[in-house]
Chains A and B, each alone.
Chain A
């Protein structure tokens, strides 16, 4: 039984090691775009559970100063190095993995800046050119995660950040 359960942890999973995550905010004063191509994500094909992790220092910006302020002033990356998401696909059925891309909902916990919040995200999952892809676009409010934006720069940073996630999954262990 022990052998069986250990075996199960490695099987029935898909992984993406270079998943893309971006966040974007736009105001008349300034557009801010941070992008990482180094997020990792795992999908448990048996349960529909899904997990993401991204190191804050892997996000890059056009302006070096933005990157510095992102890590130093807002995300406090030394204290909170990672953002995480742990969730489950609602009404999961494993047939989604072998069909075309469809709309799904994922409910779970998003942890950013050390603050955990329950969140439900619209996403798309399915096969595209024979490969399993997951895509999502959703919005978060920095204040919800204890990220303070001083009034001095308030007009340069949007109230909400648009997050885009793209992952190309491969069978785990390959």
Chain B
């Protein structure tokens, strides 16, 4: 092998060190930056996909005031202004006690129902230093119907406990990319009292929800709850699976959700087991959720 003159080696090293020099500080900074866990945030825009909960939480010390409406069915026609003549309302206050714990209480006009819930974040989807493929949360609620009981035969009585229903859900979600998020929601509901012997006290259901972002502030959402109910065809009125499609519009501190749904109920205990509208018959309700978030951080 031919001997390379020392001066060439020197020149080569000079060029090399010159190159290193300009990249130098950046490279040192890169080495100093600690590896981080990148949590996926904003998997959904709101704490609801449409009717059901999403894995999003109110962060610590943030309070959300929500108002939701579902109008009557579109097949009311012009006479009922496509359902706008009648509406049910639900409003609630929902608070982030911790970043992982959210509590809420609300009241809906359908069956004059009060409800309280807790949503607990168990896992967060992340990459980087720690890999986790999905978000996982647990949701539980109690619903109290305060509408007057139907008149009972003499000698029989009603109980307070008959007004209660309990909801348990696992929320499993993945943000596949900036635009697409999907959530699966296995659900178990227990109702202390049901209408007839054919109605089930224990309801098993599986929800699937998705959002697709059209732009930074606009997304299309869809949500379907399959409810296992072998008696559904013999019940009157017949329950259907809840199907909803809607859009989310974000305007700074508000998220505005507009939807079409076959359910007039806005809480799990009503829209999952007792949605009576059939999309194919035009039993479609126009509705909206609107929320305002208030921050209570001392800073």
Contacts and interface: CB of A to CB of B under 8 A. Distances in A.
A13 B10 CA distance: 25
A141 B250 CA distance: 23
A28 interface: no
A48 B30 CA distance: 19
A95 interface: no
A55 interface: yes
B38 interface: yes
Contacts of A160: none
Given A51-B29, A73-B216, A63 B42 contact: no
Interface in B41-76: 41-42, 58-60, 62
A78 B26 contact: no
B194 interface: no
B20 interface: yes
A93 to B, nearest CB: 19
Contact of B10 (A1, A64, A86): A1
A152 B295 CA distance: 21
* Majority secondary structure of chain B interface residues (helix, strand, loop or mixed): mixed
A42 B31 CA distance: 12
* Majority secondary structure of chain A interface residues (helix, strand, loop or mixed): mixed
Contacts of A44: 24-25
A73 B219 CA distance: 13
B270 to A, nearest CB: 29
Interface string B150-166: 00000000000000000
Given A1-B13, A152-B251, A9 B24 contact: yes
B24 A63 contact: no
A148 B221 CA distance: 25
Contacts of A172: 28
Interface string A140-151: 000000000010
A152 B33 CA distance: 36
Contact of A5 (B17, B28, B217): B17
A44 B216 CA distance: 40
A78 B30 CA distance: 17
